[in-house]
Chains A and B, each alone.
Chain A
Amino acid sequence: MARQSGSSEEFARPIRRLLVGGLILLLFAIFMLWRIDSPRAERFRAALVDAIVPQMDWALVPVTKTAELIEGVQSYARLQQQNQDLRRELQQMKAWKEAALQLEQENAKLLDLNKVRLDPALTVVTGQVLADSGSPFRQSVLLNVGAARDGIKDGWAVTDGLGLVGRISGVGKNSSRVLLLTDSASRVPVTIQPSGQSAMLAGDNSALPVLDFIEVFEEVRPGDRVVSSGDGGVFPAGLLVGSVVLARDGRLRLRLSADYGRLEFLRVLRAQPKDRIDGSTDLIGPLLPGAEAALSEDAEEAADG
Chain B
Amino acid sequence: MVEATVTRRWTYWGLFLGLSALIIFVKLLPIQPGPGRIPGPDVLTLFALAWIVRRPDYVPVLLVATVFLMADILFMRPPGLWTALVILGLEFLRARSVNMRENSFLGEWLTVAGVIAAMTFANAVVLTIFIVDQPGLGQALIRMISTILVYPIVVALAARGFGLKKIAPGEVDQLGHKR
Task: State the interface size on chain A (CB cutoff 8 A).
Answer: 54
Q: When the two chains form the complex, which single residue of A41, A134, A180, A263 contacts B75, counting CB atoms closer than 8 Å?
A: A134
Report yes or no: B79 in contact with A30, Cβ–Cβ below 8 A: yes
Q: How far is the CA of A23 from the CA of B79 in the complex (A)?
A: 14
Q: Which residues of B contact A64 (CB under 8 A)?
A: 29-31
- B-contacting 9-mer, from A44-52, A119-127, A146-154, A213-221: A44-52
Q: How far is the CA of A130 from the CA of B30 in the complex (A)?
A: 7
B-contact bits for A149-186, CB 8 A (1 contact / 0 none): 00000000000000000000000000000001010110
- Give the size range of B's interface with the partner: 35 or more
Q: How far is the CA of A4 from the CA of B30 in the complex (A)?
A: 47
The chain A residue sitting closest to B39, CB to CB, is A136
Q: Is A200 an interface residue (CB 8 A)?
A: no
Report yes or no: B28 in contact with A20, Cβ–Cβ below 8 A: no
Q: How far is the CA of A64 from the CA of B30 in the complex (A)?
A: 7
Q: When the two chains form the complex, which single residue of A30, A130, A134 contacts B80, counting CB atoms closer than 8 Å?
A: A30
Q: Which residues of A contact B78 (CB under 8 A)?
A: 31, 34-35
Report yes or no: A53 in contact with B28, Cβ–Cβ below 8 A: yes
Q: Is A302 an interface residue (CB 8 A)?
A: no
- Interchain residue pairs with CB less than 8 A apart (15): A1-B56, A1-B94, A5-B177, A27-B83, A27-B87, A34-B79, A34-B80, A45-B73, A52-B74, A53-B74, A56-B25, A132-B30, A135-B27, A136-B40, A137-B134
A interface residue numbers (CB < 8 A to B): 1-5, 19-20, 23-24, 27-31, 34-35, 41, 45, 48-49, 52-53, 56, 59-60, 63-64, 67-68, 129-142, 180, 182, 184-185, 204-207, 260-261, 263
